[in-house]
Structure 1
Amino acid sequence: MASTILSHWAGGQCSLAYKFVGGVKFMLGLACVFLLCVDMLCNNWEVIDYVGNAKHLLTPLLTIPTTSKLIHQFAFPRHASPAQVSQIGQFMINTTLAHVQTRDSHTYILGTTKHLVKNSDNDICGQLVSSYPVRNPAAAAVQLGSVADFITFVRGDALTHWFGDTQTSPRATTGMNETQLRALGYIPARHGTDLRLTAAVALPPSGQPTAATVAMYRFFMRTFCTGSEPGTELGLDTCAIEYLYNDTTQTLDVTSSQAIVGNYHELGFIFQRRGGPVLALHVRLATLVLLIGVYSASQKTVQWMDFSTQSIPQRVLRLIAPPLHREPCSVFGLSDICFNSDVFVVLYTLAVLADEEISMVYSRNMNQWHVRGGTDVWLDVRLMSMTARWLWVNCFLLKAFKWTCNFVSIAQHTGDSQLMGWLNFSSVSWMYLSVVSLLERNDFIEYGSSVRTDLSSTTQNLDATSVFLLQSWYIRSIPSLAAVIFANLVLLLVVDHVVNRKWWQFMAANSLGRQLVFNSTSILANIPLDPAAQVRGAESVTMHARALCTFRWFLASHLTRFGLPEPPAAIRALTAAHNVNPATRVFASQKPKFLADVGNLDSVVAAPPPHVPTSNLSMVLQDSDGNIHLVNAFKQDIATTAIETMIQQNTHVTMM
C-alpha cells in the first residue's frame, strides 16, 4: 500500500515538474516571438520612414539646395564654415542637402526617439560658443551655424585592450597631426562632419549681454569609407545661450551655450535605401509567416508519409502544410522551431546580416543617447530586439559547424564522431543564455573603439587622409566580436555537457537521440518525452506514436540529414532484445563508439520497459539518402498502416 502511494506521489511530482518546464518553455517561446514582432514592426525602416516623425528635423535645410545658399543664409565662424571643410566634408554636406531636397524612395528618414538631458554627458550645445560675423547689422535677427570636420583615429580593439597594451600605452593629445597619430598606432576609422544650425537669434543693442534659448538642429554626417555616401544623424536640442553683439567688429559673440537640463534631445537618421535592408524586410516577413505555419502544423499529428517520393515543390509545401490528422500533438514549442529549423535559421540569419548596415549604426547611436538619458523601458525592448537578432547568427554558426564536421569527417556510423556530439544544446534555455553577451554588443563595440581621438580639419588638411572600409569603425570590431561569440558558444556547450552529462549519455545510447545529435543539423537535442514515459538504462525511450510522426516530419523537412547508418552493434542489439528473455542482458563483444562517454554501460541492451513486449521494440535510422525509417527487430520498415493504427489508438512506440 505504501509503495503504491509513493508511486502515485512520485508520478505526480514528475507530472508537475514536466508541466512547469513546459510552461517555462512556452513563456520563453512567447518572449521570442514578441521580440520578433517588435523587431519587425518597431524597427521596420519602411514603417518608420512612412510615419515621417523625423521630417521636422530637416526644417533648416528644406529651402537650401546648395552649400553657397547655406553659407549665405546662416552666419558661420570663419574657422567653422562649410567653405573651410575638407573635400569629403563638402561632399557629405552636398549629399545631405540633396537627400533633404529629394526625400524620395532612395533614402530612409528615420526617427524619432527622445532622450532626457540629465547632465553635461549629453549636452552638445557647446559647439555654438564662437564669434559669428553679421553681414547685415540692420537685421532684427540672425541664424547661426557651425561645422566641425574631422577624421576619428582609433587604436586597437577589445582583444588588444584585454591582452595587449593598446589601452595603457601613451595616448594621443589634442593637436597631433596624422604622422604623429600613426606613430602611436592610431588608424583612421571614420570621417565625420558635424553641422549645427539654429533658429533665428535676435540682435541686441551693441555691447549688451543677452540671454536666450534657441533651437539647435544637428546634422552629423558620417562615412566609414572615403568617398562613400554618408549616413546622417539628425538632432534637435534647445540651448540656453549668452551672447552680445559688437557693432564695431560686426560680430555676434556667443560666450556660453548649454543644454537645458530636463529637456529632451530628439534623435533621427537619414540612411540610403539599399537592397540589403529592403531584402531583410521581406525575408523577415516570410520567416514570420513560416513560423506561424510550422507551429500550427506541429500542434497536430502529421501523417506518416514517404518523403523520398516527393518532388521539390511538394517538399517546399510540406514545410508548412504537411498532411495532417485531426488529433492534437504538442511536440514542439515556438522556440524549438525558431532556433532549430534549418529553413528559419538560414533565412533569419540572412535577414540579420542584410540589415546590419543600418541596424548596427542605428542601434549604436540610439544606445549611446539612451545610456546617457535615463530609463526608458520601450527603448530597452527595441534595442534588445535588435541585438537579440544575433541569436540566429549563433544558431547558424553552430549548424554550420555541424555540417562542416560531417563533411570533413571520416565517420561511417552515427556516433563515430565525438566532436559532433558536443555541437548541440540540451534545451533552448542554453540558447537564451547566449543572448546575455549579445545584449552587450553595442557597449562591446564602443569599448573596442574607446582609445580614439579626432584629427580636425583646422589642425591639418584632411584631403590626403583616407578611411578604408576594412579598417573602419564597425568592420574593425568584427574579429573581436566574432571571437567573443565563439568563446561564449564554446563555454555554454561545455557547461551544458558537463551539467547534463546523464542526458547526453542517454542521447548517445538511443537511436532517436543519435539522429539528432550525430546524424542531422539539429542543434537542440530535446526529445519530446511524455510525462509518463519509461526509460530503462539509458537505451530505450517510449513516446506517443502521434508525437513520433510529427517529430519525424520536422526531422525530415526542416533539418539536413547526414545519412549515416546505425552502428552494426546497435542493430544486433535490437535483434538480440527480440530473441532473449526480457530478464536477460546481452553483452556486446566490443563497446560501440557512440557509447564511448557512457561510463560503465558495457551492455548495449537493457530489458525493455515491463509494459512493452520485446516484439514491439523498434529503431529510428536513416538510409544513405537521409530518408528516415522506423524498423523493427527483423530490420524491416514498420508499415504505414501499422503506424496509422497506433495513431488512431494513441499508443506508444518504444525505441532503442
Structure 2
Amino acid sequence: MKARALDSKYNFSAKFDKFLLLCAQVLGICVICLVAVDATANNWAINDFVGNAYEFITPIVEIDTIDKLTSHFTFATGLSVSDLSNIGRWMTDYCLTSVADSNKIYLLSGGAYTVDERLNLCDIFRGSYSVDIDTYRTIRFGVAVDGITYLRGNALTHVFTDDATTNLARSGMTHDQLDALGYSPARIQTDIRMTHRVTISNMTTQQQILVPYWRLYSKSYCTGCTPIAELGHGVCTWTAIYSYSTKTLTVSNSTFVAGSIHRLGLMIQQNAFSSASHYIKFVAIILAIGGYLASRRTVQWMEVDPTKTTTILSRVIQIVVPSCFPHPSHALRFDMFCYNSDIFVVLICTSVILDMSHSLIYIREVNVFNSINTDFLMSIQLFALSTRLIWINCGILKLAKLIWNILGTASCCGGSKVMGFLNLKTVTSLYLSAIVIFNVPPYIEYNNSVRYDVKNYLLGLEGIQVNFMNSFYFRGTAAICTGLIVNILLVTLLDQGFNRHFWQNMAKNSLARQAMFNSTSIMCDYIMDIEVNSTSNHVLIICKARRLSTLQWFFMNHLYSFGLPEHDLKQMKDHLKSTHATESPQGTGDNLFMVIQDGGHHLHLLDDQLNDVKSLMYNIKVLKDTTVTIK
C-alpha cells in the first residue's frame, strides 16, 4: 500500500511537472510575441519614423519661437504666453525650436481615447478673449498656464508611515508652508492650448460653439532641464457670449464632448543613451538568435587544450557558430535560452537601463489616459514595454550569484545554501514575478500620490528650484528598485518552498549542482524535463549524449562558471584506486558519469572510474545517439 501511494504521488508530480512545462511553453510564446512588439512599436526611432505623431505639429509648423504665438492665436486675458514665468516661456520655446529641428527629438504616438467626464480637459478655456469680430470673424484662440507639482513621500513611506493621510496640503498654501509639511517641488509644467479656426456668430446672446484644439504640455523634471512634451488633439463645447461694447468674447463654460476622441502624442529628446540602447538591443537580439540556432544542432564536445590560445574573436565565434554535428538538438528552448544566457541578459539589461528614463515617462504619460478609457492596441504596447523589467529580474538573480560567489566562503560545489536559493525551477516562476512588473504604471502613480499642484507659479514662486534628486520620476527610484528586488526574492522563496523535494533531489546530482551552485544559471528548465531516476542510492539524470554535449557548450560560452570542485572528489578517486570498485545504474546497462568543473572553469565528464571522458570516445556516443546516465 505504501509503495502504491508513493508511486501515485510520483505520477502526480510527473504530470504536474509536464503541466508546468506546457504552461511555460505557452507563456514563452506569448512573451516572445510581446518582446517582438516591444522591439518594434517601443523602438522610439521606429515609432518616430512611422510618423503618426507628426499631426501634432500642425498648429505650430510655422512657429519656431514663443513670441510668434501671439501673432497666430488670440490668448485669454491673464492666460497668455506673456503671463508665463521665465522658465515656462523657455520650456515652451525649447519645444517649439525642437519641432523645427526634428533631429533632436522623437515624436511618438500615444493612442486614441474615447472622452467622457473622467477625461475632461476643457475647463482651462474659461475666460475672456479680446476680439473684434467685425475685423476677424474666424479666430484661433489660445490659453497658457504654468505651474509646479509638489510631492511628498514615496511608495515606501506611504506603506510604513501616515504621510498619505495626515497633514495634507490645502488650497492657497505657499511654498514655505508646503515645505514645512514635507512637500518638495518635483516637476515644472507649462500647458499651451491652441484651437482650430473658430467662427464667432454675430450674436450678443449666449451661443454653443464646437471647438477643436491642440495641446502642447511641456514638462521639466528639474529647473533648466531639457523638457519633454505631452501632445494632444481633442474637442470642447464652449458656452460663450460676445460683447460689442468691450470687444470681448467671454467663455463662461467649456466642457468635453462625450464620445469624442482625444488623440495623444509625446515628444521626448533624442540622446546618446537612447541611441546606444537601440544598438545594444539589436546586438543582443542577433546574438540570441545566433546562439539559439547554434543550440539546435549538436555542438561538439570541447576538451581543454593548454597549447591553444583563445582570442576574443574565437570566443565570439564559439558563442554563435560553434563546431557542430549534423544532428538536431532540443537541449534549450528559445525563451529559456534568452533568460539564462549571461550575454543576452547583460546586453538587454544594459539596453533597458539606458532607456529607462524614456520608458518610464512613456509608460506613465500614456497610462494616465489608457487607465481611464482603454485603447486595446496601446494596452498591448504598454504591456510589451513592461516586459523589459523581466530581464532586470534575471539580471538581479545573476548579479546576486556573482556577488555571493565573490563574498561567499564555499570551497566546493554545493557548499553554499544561499547559492542554491538563487534558482528558479522553470520560467513559469519568472513569469509569476512579472505580475508585479505589469503593475509598474499604477505603482508610479502610487509613488507620487501625495500631490499638490500650484498653477501660475509666476505669482510669488518664480525662484522655486526643482531638484533632480526630488524630481517626479527619479525620487521613486529607490522604491522601484526595492520593489523589484523584493518581488524576485519572494518569487524565488515561493519556488524553493513549493518545489522543495525537487531542489533536494537536484542537489544530489552533479549536473544539477553545476547549474545550481557552480554557475550563473538561474533556471533549470533544461534539467527538469530530462528523465530523473531516483530508485538507486543516487539521483540519476538520464540524458541523451547529443543534448549533454550542447549543454556543455552553453555552460562554457553563455554562462559564467565558478570553477568550484566537487566535494571529496579526491577521496573518491583514492577509494576507487584502492578497491577497484565499479557501479552501474539499475536497469540501464550504462556506466555512471559525473559532471564536474576544473579550476579553469571547464566542464568535464568523468566516467565510473572518475577518468576524464575524451572527445573521441564521447563522439561515438553522439553518433550512436546513446544516453549518458549522470549521478
Report the TM-score range of the alignment, normalised by the length of the smaller protein: over 0.9
Residue in 1 aligned with 2:358?
358
Is the contact between residue 218 and residue 233 of structure 1 (CA under 8 Å) also seen in structure 2? yes
* Counterpart pick for 1:611 among 579, 583, 588: 588
Q: Does 2:620 match 1:645?
A: yes
Is the contact between residue 528 and residue 547 of structure 1 (CA under 8 Å) also seen in structure 2? no
Q: 1:123 to 1:644 in 2, by over 3 A?
A: same
Deviation at 1:123, TM superposition (A): 1.1
Deviations 1:391-426 (A, max 9, x none): 101111111111000011122111111111111111
Is the contact between residue 86 and residue 462 of structure 1 (CA under 8 Å) also seen in structure 2? no
Percent of aligned positions that are identical = 32
Q: 1:495 to 1:479 in 2, by over 3 A?
A: same
Provide the rounded CA distance (Å) in 2 between the counterparts of 1:29 and 1:649. Answer: 32
Provide the rounded CA distance (Å) in 2 between the counterparts of 1:490 and 1:539. Answer: 27
Secondary structure of the 2:520 match is coil
1:41-440 correspondence to structure 2 within 5 Å: 41-103=40-102, 105-117=103-115, 119-134=116-131, 137-205=134-202, 207-306=204-303, 309=308, 310-374=310-374, 376-440=375-439
For residue 127 of structure 2, what is the amino acid of its counterpart?
S
Provide the rounded CA distance (Å) in 2 between the counterparts of 1:414 and 1:472. Answer: 46
Q: How many residues align?
A: 623
Is the contact between residue 403 and residue 521 of structure 1 (CA under 8 Å) also seen in structure 2? yes
Residue in 2 aligned with 1:488?
487
Q: 1:101 to 1:479 in 2, by over 3 A?
A: same
Is the contact between residue 175 and residue 459 of structure 1 (CA under 8 Å) also seen in structure 2? no
Provide the rounded CA distance (Å) in 2 between the counterparts of 1:517 and 1:573. Answer: 24
Provide the rounded CA distance (Å) in 1 between the counterparts of 2:78 and 2:199. Answer: 23
For residue 358 of structure 2, what is the amino acid of its counterpart?
I
Deviation at 1:579, TM superposition (A): 4.5
Deviation at 1:241, TM superposition (A): 1.1
Q: Does 2:615 match 1:632?
A: no
Structure 2: 5+ residue runs without aligned partners?
A: none
Secondary structure of the 2:355 match is helix
Provide the rounded CA distance (Å) in 1 between the counterparts of 2:107 and 2:122. Answer: 23
Q: Does 2:420 match 1:445?
A: no
Provide the rounded CA distance (Å) in 1 between the counterparts of 2:495 and 2:312. Answer: 37
Q: 1:82 to 1:574 in 2, by over 3 A?
A: farther
Deviation at 1:333, TM superposition (A): 0.9
For residue 303 of structure 1, what is the amino acid of its counterpart?
Q
For residue 94 of structure 2, what is the amino acid of its counterpart?
T
Deviation at 1:23, TM superposition (A): 3.7
Provide the rounded CA distance (Å) in 2 between the counterparts of 1:495 and 1:154. Answer: 35
Q: 1:458 to 1:394 in 2, by over 3 A?
A: closer
Is the contact between residue 447 and residue 476 of structure 2 (CA under 8 Å) also seen in structure 1? yes
Secondary structure of the 1:319 match is helix
Provide the rounded CA distance (Å) in 2 between the counterparts of 1:610 and 1:304. Answer: 27
Deviation at 1:463, TM superposition (A): 2.6
Q: 1:213 to 1:537 in 2, by over 3 A?
A: farther
The range that moved more, 488-497 or 218-227, is 488-497
Deviations 1:582-634 (A, max 9, x none): 6xxxxxxxxxxxxxxxxxxxxxxxx7333235xx2221111112111112243
Provide the rounded CA distance (Å) in 2 between the counterparts of 1:545 and 1:188. Answer: 63
Is the contact between residue 85 and residue 458 of structure 2 (CA under 8 Å) also seen in structure 1? no
Deviation at 1:72, TM superposition (A): 2.5
Q: 1:155 to 1:9 in 2, by over 3 A?
A: closer
Secondary structure of the 2:372 match is helix
Secondary structure of the 1:528 match is helix
Provide the rounded CA distance (Å) in 2 between the counterparts of 1:40 and 1:307. Answer: 39
Provide the rounded CA distance (Å) in 1 between the counterparts of 2:538 and 2:157. Answer: 47
Provide the rounded CA distance (Å) in 2 between the counterparts of 1:193 and 1:650. Answer: 70
Question: RMSD over aligned Cα, in angstroms?
Answer: 2.5
The range that moved more, 268-277 or 450-459, is 450-459
Deviations 1:277-305 (A, max 9, x none): 11121222222222222222222211112
Provide the rounded CA distance (Å) in 2 between the counterparts of 1:448 and 1:279. Answer: 29
Provide the rounded CA distance (Å) in 2 between the counterparts of 1:494 and 1:141. Answer: 67
Secondary structure of the 1:543 match is strand
Secondary structure of the 1:410 match is coil
Is the contact between residue 111 and residue 269 of structure 1 (CA under 8 Å) also seen in structure 2? yes
For residue 410 of structure 2, what is the amino acid of its counterpart?
A
Provide the rounded CA distance (Å) in 1 between the counterparts of 2:626 and 2:165. Answer: 68
The range that moved more, 129-138 or 48-57, is 129-138
For residue 589 of structure 2, what is the amino acid of its counterpart?
V
Q: 1:529 to 1:227 in 2, by over 3 A?
A: closer
Q: TM-score normalized by structure 2? A: 0.94
Provide the rounded CA distance (Å) in 1 between the counterparts of 2:21 and 2:538. Answer: 23
For residue 404 of structure 1, what is the amino acid of its counterpart?
I
Is the contact between residue 147 and residue 196 of structure 1 (CA under 8 Å) also seen in structure 2? yes
Provide the rounded CA distance (Å) in 1 between the counterparts of 2:220 and 2:619. Answer: 63
Deviation at 1:362, TM superposition (A): 1.0
Q: 1:253 to 1:511 in 2, by over 3 A?
A: same
Residue in 1 aligned with 2:540?
540
Provide the rounded CA distance (Å) in 1 between the counterparts of 2:574 and 2:390. Answer: 39
Is the contact between residue 521 and residue 559 of structure 1 (CA under 8 Å) also seen in structure 2? yes
Q: 1:15 to 1:181 in 2, by over 3 A?
A: closer
Provide the rounded CA distance (Å) in 2 between the counterparts of 1:94 and 1:32. Answer: 42
Deviation at 1:581, TM superposition (A): 7.3
For residue 632 of structure 1, what is the amino acid of its counterpart?
D
Residue in 2 aligned with 1:589?
none
Deviation at 1:307, TM superposition (A): 6.1
Secondary structure of the 2:378 match is helix
The range that moved more, 631-640 or 452-461, is 452-461
For residue 338 of structure 1, what is the amino acid of its counterpart?
C
Secondary structure of the 2:28 match is helix
Deviations 1:450-501 (A, max 9, x none): 1111122257333311111111111111111112112111211111111111
Residue in 2 aligned with 1:455?
454
Structure 1: 5+ residue runs without aligned partners?
A: 1-5, 583-606
Q: Does 2:551 match 1:551?
A: yes
Deviation at 1:337, TM superposition (A): 1.0
Deviations 1:118-142 (A, max 9, x none): x221110111111112267521122
Is the contact between residue 575 and residue 633 of structure 1 (CA under 8 Å) also seen in structure 2? no
For residue 391 of structure 1, what is the amino acid of its counterpart?
I
Q: TM-score normalized by structure 1? A: 0.90
Provide the rounded CA distance (Å) in 2 between the counterparts of 1:114 and 1:281. Answer: 26
Provide the rounded CA distance (Å) in 2 between the counterparts of 1:575 and 1:380. Answer: 64
Deviation at 1:196, TM superposition (A): 0.6
Deviations 1:322-349 (A, max 9, x none): 1111111111111211111000100110
Provide the rounded CA distance (Å) in 2 between the counterparts of 1:328 and 1:146. Answer: 67
Q: 1:419 to 1:303 in 2, by over 3 A?
A: same
Is the contact between residue 646 and residue 652 of structure 1 (CA under 8 Å) also seen in structure 2? yes
Provide the rounded CA distance (Å) in 2 between the counterparts of 1:334 and 1:524. Answer: 13
